[in-house]
C-alpha cells in the first residue's frame, strides 16, 4: 500500500510521460530532417571539393578567372574560371529581390491593413496561383516579351541580367508576398489599437509598429524568395543569354551558376573533370546562399535596436 503511493508520487505522471513522448517524437523528426540536410550538403561539398583536390584546380583561379571550358586543358590545368557565373547569380538574385521586396510589402500591407476580407479572399488564391506556373512558361514569356523590350530600349541583343531579374521577380514575388502577408497578419491587433489610441495615423502605426514587429517574418520571406531565385534555372537560362562572359552591363549576355549547372550536367560523365567542376558550382551556390542568409539576419539584428 505504502509502496504504491510512493511509486505514484515518485514516478512521472501521465502528463509528464505524454510530454516526454511528444518531445521525443518531434526531436526524432527534427533530427531526421537535420540528417537529410547534412547528407545533401555533405554530398555536394564532397563532390564539389574534388575539383580542387583531385583535379588540381587552384581555388583562387576558380573564383576569379573568367574562362569556363572544363574540357580543355591549358598549361596542365583545366580552364575553370567561374567568376562570370558567380557575378551573374549574385546580381540577378539581388536585383530580383530588390525589385520584389517593395512590391511584396505594398501588397502585404494592403492586404493586412487596408483591404476588406472579401478582397483578400479573392486576391490571395490568385497570388498563390503564380507559384505553380512551370518555369518554362515564364522563360518563354520573358523571351517573347521582355527580351525584345530590352532590345528596343537598350539596344544590343536584349539578353542579360536585367531581363533575368525581371523574370525572377515575377517568379519569386508570390512566395515573398504570401509569407509577408502571414507575418503582418500575425502582429496582434492590440499593437495597432495601442498605436491608434495614442493618436498615431494609420501609416504611423503600420510603419512604426506593425512593420517593426513583423520584421523577422518579412526577412524570412525575403530569404526564401532569394533562395528560389538562386536555384531557378530554366526560365533564367532563356533570357540571360547563357554565355559564360563577364557582364559588362545589365543587358549584356552572361550566365548564372544554376543555368550552367542545369544545362550541362546531364551531358557530362560522372567523375570526370567536367562533372566535378559543375558540382563545384553547386557548392559555390550553397556558400553564396549561406552568405546571403547570414547577411540578411545581420541586418535584422542591427535594426532591432
Partner 1 sequence: MDAKKVDRIAKRVIQTMVLMIVVLLVLILGYILVTGLSQTKLDFIFKISKAAQAGGGIRDQLFNSLYLLVLALLISVPLSLGAGIYLAEYAPDNWFTRMLKTLIEILSSLPSIVVGLFAYLVLVIKFQIGFSIIAGAMALTFFNLPLLTSNIENAFRNLPDSQREAGLALGLSQWKMIKGILLPRIVPSIITAVILSSGRIFGEAAALIYTSGQSAPILNYANWNPFSPDSPLNIMRPAETLAVHIWKLNSEGLTPDADAISAAASAVLIIVVLLFNISAHYFGEKLEQKLTAKR
Partner 2 sequence: MKNSKRHYLWISLITIMTAGLLSACQQNKNSITAVGSTALQPLVEEAAYAYGNKHGVTINVQGGGSGTGLSQVAEGSVAIGDSDLFVEQKQGIPANKLVDHRVAVVGIVPVVNPGVGVKNLSMDQLRAIFAGKITNWKEVGGKNQSVLLIHRGQGSGTRFTFEQDVMGKTSVAPGQEQDSNGSVQKIVKATPGAISYLAFAYANQPGLQKLQIDHVVPTKTNVTTNEWKIWSYEHMYTNKNKHSKLTEQFLQYLQTPAVQQDLIAKLGYISIHDMKVVKDIDGNVTPLKKGLGK
Pattern 212-251, partner 1, x by CB under 8 A: ----xx--x--xx-xxx-xxxxx-----------------
- Residue 280 contacts which entry, partner 1, partner 2, none (Cβ below 5-8 A, type-dependent): none
Other beta carbons less than 10 A from residue 201's beta carbon: 10
CB nearer to partner 1: give 101 or 252. 101
Whether the CA torsion 273, 45, 224, 216 is positive or negative: it is: negative
**Residue in 50, 67, 69, 293 binding partner 1, rule: CB under 8 A:** 293
CB nearer to partner 2: give 234 or 300. 234
Nearest distance from residue 268's CB to partner 2, in Å? 4
CB 105 within 8 A of CB 218: yes
Q: Does 16 bind partner 1 (CB under 8 A)?
A: yes
Cα–Cα distances in angstroms (integers) from residue 31 to residues 35, 40, 45, in the given order: 6, 14, 20
Residue of 170, 111, 167 lying closest to 140 (CA atoms): 167
Question: Footprint of partner 1 on residues 76-135 (CB under 8 A)?
Answer: 102-103, 106-107, 109-110, 114, 121, 123-135
- Residue 69 contacts which entry, partner 2, partner 1, none (Cβ below 5-8 A, type-dependent): partner 2
Question: Footprint of partner 1 on residues 175-214 (CB under 8 A)?
Answer: 175, 178-179, 181-183, 186, 188, 200-204, 206-207
Cα 40 to Cα 32: distance, rounded to the nearest angstrom: 12
CB nearer to partner 2: give 185 or 264. 264
- Residue 220 contacts which entry, partner 2, partner 1, none (Cβ below 5-8 A, type-dependent): partner 1
Question: Footprint of partner 2 on residues 244-303 (CB under 8 A)?
Answer: 244-245, 253, 255, 262-275
- Residue 56 contacts which entry, partner 1, partner 2, none (Cβ below 5-8 A, type-dependent): none
CB 254 within 8 A of CB 240: yes
Pattern 54-93, partner 2, x by CB under 8 A: ---------------xxx----------------------
Cα 99 to Cα 169: distance, rounded to the nearest angstrom: 7
- Residue 147 contacts which entry, partner 2, partner 1, none (Cβ below 5-8 A, type-dependent): partner 2
- Residue 217 contacts which entry, partner 2, partner 1, none (Cβ below 5-8 A, type-dependent): partner 1
Cα 154 to Cα 187: distance, rounded to the nearest angstrom: 44
Question: Footprint of partner 2 on residues 140-199 (CB under 8 A)?
Answer: 140, 143-144, 147-148, 151, 157-159
CB nearer to partner 2: give 8 or 72. 72
DSSP notation for 174-232: HHHHHHHHHHHHTS-HHHHHHHHHTT--HHHIIIIIIHHHTHHHHHHHHHHHHHHHHH-
- Residue 157 contacts which entry, partner 2, partner 1, none (Cβ below 5-8 A, type-dependent): partner 2
Residue 284: CB partners within 8 Å, gap ≥ 6?
Answer: 48, 63, 82, 86, 257
Cα 21 to Cα 108: distance, rounded to the nearest angstrom: 39
CB 242 within 8 A of CB 250: no
The binding site for partner 2 (CB under 8 A) comprises: 25, 29, 69-71, 140, 143-144, 147-148, 151, 157-159, 237-238, 241-245, 253, 255, 262-275
Amino acid at each position: 500500500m505504502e509502496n504504491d503511493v510512493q511509486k505514484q508520487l515518485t514516478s512521472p505522471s501521465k502528463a509528464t510521460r505524454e510530454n516526454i513522448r511528444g518531445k521525443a517524437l518531434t526531436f526524432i523528426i527534427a533530427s531526421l530532417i537535420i540528417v537529410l540536410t547534412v547528407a545533401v550538403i555533405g554530398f555536394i561539398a564532397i563532390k564539389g571539393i574534388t575539383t580542387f583536390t583531385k583535379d588540381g584546380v587552384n581555388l583562387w583561379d576558380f573564383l576569379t578567372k573568367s574562362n569556363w571550358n572544363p574540357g580543355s586543358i591549358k598549361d596542365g590545368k583545366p580552364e575553370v574560371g567561374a567568376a562570370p557565373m558567380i557575378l551573374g547569380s549574385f546580381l540577378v538574385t539581388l536585383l530580383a529581390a530588390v525589385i520584389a521586396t517593395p512590391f511584396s510589402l505594398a501588397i502585404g500591407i494592403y492586404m493586412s491593413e487596408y483591404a476588406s476580407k472579401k478582397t483578400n479572399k479573392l486576391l490571395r488564391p490568385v497570388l498563390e496561383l503564380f507559384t505553380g506556373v512551370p518555369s518554362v512558361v515564364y522563360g518563354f514569356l520573358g523571351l517573347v516579351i521582355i527580351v525584345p523590350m530590352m532590345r528596343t530600349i537598350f539596344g544590343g541583343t536584349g539578353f542579360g541580367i536585367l531581363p533575368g531579374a525581371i523574370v525572377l521577380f515575377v517568379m519569386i514575388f508570390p512566395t515573398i508576398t504570401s509569407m509577408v502577408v502571414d507575418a503582418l497578419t500575425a502582429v496582434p491587433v492590440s499593437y495597432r489599437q495601442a498605436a491608434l489610441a495614442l493618436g498615431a495615423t494609420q501609416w504611423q502605426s503600420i510603419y512604426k509598429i506593425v512593420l517593426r514587429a513583423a520584421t523577422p517574418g518579412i526577412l524570412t520571406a525575403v530569404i526564401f524568395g532569394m533562395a528560389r531565385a538562386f536555384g531557378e534555372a530554366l526560365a533564367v537560362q532563356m533570357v540571360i543569354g547563357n554565355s559564360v562572359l563577364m557582364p559588362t552591363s545589365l543587358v549584356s549576355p552572361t550566365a548564372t551558376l544554376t543555368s550552367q549547372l542545369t544545362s550541362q550536367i546531364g551531358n557530362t560523365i560522372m567523375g570526370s573533370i567536367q562533372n566535378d567542376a559543375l558540382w563545384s558550382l553547386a557548392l559555390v551556390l550553397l556558400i553564396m546562399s549561406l552568405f546571403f542568409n547570414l547577411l540578411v539576419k545581420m541586418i535584422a539584428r542591427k535594426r532591432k535596436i
